[in-house]
Amino acid sequence: MKNITRNEIRALIREILEKNNDTNHIGDDDALISSGRLDSLDIAELMIYLQDEYGINTANSDPDFYNKLDSIKSITQYINQHN
């Protein structure tokens, strides 16, 4: 599998946020889920993308799973460690 860059994840997150009229700056360490910037439908879209593009199992029983995907930096690290 290929590694993903922060720019690729940033573009995806920006696209999702723009659908919600959120055009505010997003930094690599900014909270996405815990801050409420991504709602449940946005998270589902992100999970489908990760599963389809990178084979990441999003039906994870790890209770800390979503905390591991709460920023551009953490999403990038998670994908690169698990593919």
Query: Average model confidence (pLDDT) for the chain?
Result: 87
Is residue 15 pLDDT above 70, yes or no? yes
60-83 average pLDDT score: 83
Amino acid 76: pLDDT: 92
Stated pTM of the model: 0.85
Which of 36, 37, 9 is closest to 21 using CA atoms?
37
Is residue 83 pLDDT above 80, yes or no? no
Burial of 6 (0-12, 13-18, 19+ CB in 10 A): middle
Is residue 49 pLDDT above 90, yes or no? no
Is residue 31 pLDDT above 80, yes or no? yes
42 vs 44: CA distance, rounded Å: 5
Under 8 Å between Cβ of 74 and 82:
no
